[in-house]
């Protein structure tokens, strides 16, 4: 028997989400809907389709390993130096690079929990300790759904190399506000890197939720992670990026980059997507309107739903979570359950959300009689 590293053996096996076409076939319906992965319900941007088609004839060549055009386009878009920007094969790849570049075995990574599942996985793989700081209720009497930044700051010790603040938080959708985030950043030791994970930034509507890039200015231990997967409708193309105040942080990430992992079509698509700002803003406004409608409809049903600043909503169903999600899936609606805690539901199209709401009504009377 070969020797798999114990840290890797301990990583839970990857469990893929249900594919809607397979599920529909299995349960004998025409169509299943997937509200599980926080994609937008819109098709790829027209400029992205055009750009990808244009470069396909160049895919006999390796991509530019430094993703120069994407890096420059992002630098111009955000008014930063290209040396501060690193593109990666999706935000998840950058999560891995951050762990590899900043966490030696025996060091620690701190983050709220529950938050994005990649954080503890990446810590485990590099042999770092996860410091998980429980979420707290954002509203009196509510379920735990919000970062406790004071506790997060207090949990940092001299082994902590990396701290994540997922804002808005996946999977609960809540966001931390400017004053508390500034207080937090002021409290973090200067030699500990704070990454503001803003994968859902484009869906934020609360003016008091700060733009991480503004808070980053003048703080060399702060970086911001964003992605083209969500608002830019490019989840299948895989491009994310980190912008760091200190170019040395970006340089460290380039060193753990898997060579050529941002493909030729992905690079062309990212540049084209950045030029489609108007259309992206229109689409995000539609997602936000639908998010608010979905939230109101769920509250009308007596469910506790926090204000989401992302493109998903969180149903804290506790012990009913697994049963409700399974029953929804049996009726062709795929959501993302976290057993014992809640279900994350991606904002879909109005038609998809109506199907979800009607199916939830059926299911709740079955598994959670009022």
- Give the whole-angstrom CA distance, residue 188 versus residue 185: 5
By CB under 6 A, residue 229 contacts ligand PLP: yes
How many chain residues bind ligand PLP (CB under 6 A)?
13
Work out which of 34, 52, 84, 91 binds ligand PLP, going by CB under 6 A: 91
Q: Which residue has the tokens 């060193």?
A: 255
Positions in 175-214 near ligand PLP (CB under 6 A): 197, 199
Q: How far is the CB of 301 from ligand PLP (least distance, A)?
A: 26
13 CB-contact burial (10 Å; exposed 0-12 / middle 13-18 / buried 19+): exposed
Minimum distance from CB of 12 to ligand PLP (Å)?
17
Q: Does 116 sit near ligand PLP (CB under 6 A)?
A: yes
As measured in angstroms, the least distance from the Cβ of 21 to ligand PLP is 21
Query: Whole-number minimum distance, CB 25 to ligand PLP, in Å?
Result: 26
Regarding 99 and contact with ligand PLP (CB under 6 A), the answer is no
121 binds ligand PLP (CB under 6 A): no
Cα-based angle 23, 291, 341 (whole degrees, multiple of 5): 60
Cα 264 to its chain centre, rounded Å, is 23
- In the window 270-299, what residues touch ligand PLP (CB under 6 A)? none
Cα separation, 175 vs 188, whole angstroms: 19
Q: Which of 231, 326, 328 is nearest to 274 (CA)?
A: 231
Decide if residue 166 touches ligand PLP (CB under 6 A): yes
Q: Where are the alpha helices (DSSP H) in 188-320?
A: 212-216, 247-255, 264-274, 277-300
- Give the nearest distance from C-beta 232 to ligand PLP in angstroms: 10
The CA distance from 170 to 175, in Å, is 10
31 contacts 20 by C-beta, under 8 angstroms: yes
The verdict on whether omega for the bond into residue 189 sits within 30 degrees of 0, i.e. cis, is: no
Residue 223 in contact with ligand PLP, rule: CB under 6 A:
no
Residues 119 and 95: their CA atoms lie apart, in Å, by 7
Q: Does 227 bind ligand PLP (CB under 6 A)?
A: yes
* Three-class DSSP category at 259: coil
Whichever of 108 and 229 has its CB closer to ligand PLP, that residue is 229
Q: Is residue 240 a contact point for ligand PLP (CB under 6 A)?
A: yes
Q: Distance of CA 367 to CAs 319, 326, 334, Å?
A: 11, 10, 17
Give the per-residue SS3 of 351-370: HHHHHHHHHHHHHHHHHCCC
The two tokens of residue 270 are 């990212």
Q: Which range in 6-14, 86-94, 154-162, 179-187 contacts ligand PLP by CB under 6 A? A: 86-94
Q: Which of 44, 48, 73, 90 binds ligand PLP (CB under 6 A)?
A: 90
- Site for ligand PLP contains 173 (CB under 6 A): no
Q: Which stretch binds ligand PLP (CB under 6 A): 90-98, 134-142, 148-156, 173-181?
A: 90-98
Least distance CB 331 / ligand PLP (angstroms): 25
161 versus 201: smaller Cβ distance to ligand PLP: 201
- Tell me the β-bridge partners of 144: 137
One residue of 235, 297, 303, 330 binding ligand PLP per CB under 6 A: 235
Residues of the shown chain interacting with ligand PLP in the complex, contacts defined by CB under 6 A: 38, 90-92, 116, 166, 170, 197, 199, 227, 229, 235, 240
């Amino acid at each position: 028997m070969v020797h798999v590293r114990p840290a890797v053996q301990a990583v839970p096996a990857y469990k893929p989400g249900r594919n809607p076409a397979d599920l529909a076939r299995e349960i004998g319906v025409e169509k299943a809907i997937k509200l599980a992965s926080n994609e937008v319900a819109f098709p790829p941007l027209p400029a992205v389709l055009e750009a990808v088609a244009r470069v396909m004839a160049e895919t006999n060549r390796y991509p530019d390993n430094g993703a120069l055009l994407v890096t420059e386009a992002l630098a111009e878009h955000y008014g930063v130096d290209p040396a501060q920007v690193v593109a990666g094969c999706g935000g998840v790849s950058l999560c891995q690079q951050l762990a590899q570049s900043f966490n030696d075995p025996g060091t620690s990574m701190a983050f709220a929990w529950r938050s994005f599942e990649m954080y503890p996985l990446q810590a485990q793989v590099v042999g770092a300790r996860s410091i998980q700081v429980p979420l707290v209720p954002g509203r009196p009497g509510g379920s735990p759904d919000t970062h406790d930044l004071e506790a997060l700051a207090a949990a940092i010790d001299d082994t902590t190399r990396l701290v994540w603040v997922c804002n808005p938080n996946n999977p609960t959708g809540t966001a931390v506000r400017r004053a508390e985030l500034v207080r937090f950043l002021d409290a973090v030791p200067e030699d500990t890197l704070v990454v503001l994970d803003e994968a859902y930034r484009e869906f934020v509507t609360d003016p008091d939720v700060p733009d991480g890039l503004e808070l980053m200015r003048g703080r060399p231990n702060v970086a911001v992670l964003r992605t083209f997967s969500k608002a830019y409708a490019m989840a299948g193309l895989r491009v994310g990026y980190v912008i760091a105040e200190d170019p040395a942080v970006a340089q460290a990430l380039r060193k753990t980059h898997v060579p050529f992992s941002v493909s030729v079509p992905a690079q062309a698509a990212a540049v084209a997507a950045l030029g489609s700002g108007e259309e992206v803003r229109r689409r995000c406004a539609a997602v936000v309107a639908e998010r608010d409608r979905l939230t109101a409809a769920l509250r009308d049903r007596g469910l506790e739903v926090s204000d989401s600043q992302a493109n998903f909503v969180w149903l804290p169903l506790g012990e009913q979570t697994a049963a409700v999600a399974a029953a929804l899936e049996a009726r062709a609606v795929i959501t993302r359950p976290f057993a014992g805690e809640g279900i994350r539901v991606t904002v879909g199209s109005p038609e998809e959300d109506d199907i979800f709401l009607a199916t939830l009504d059926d299911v709740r009377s079955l598994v959670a009689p009022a």
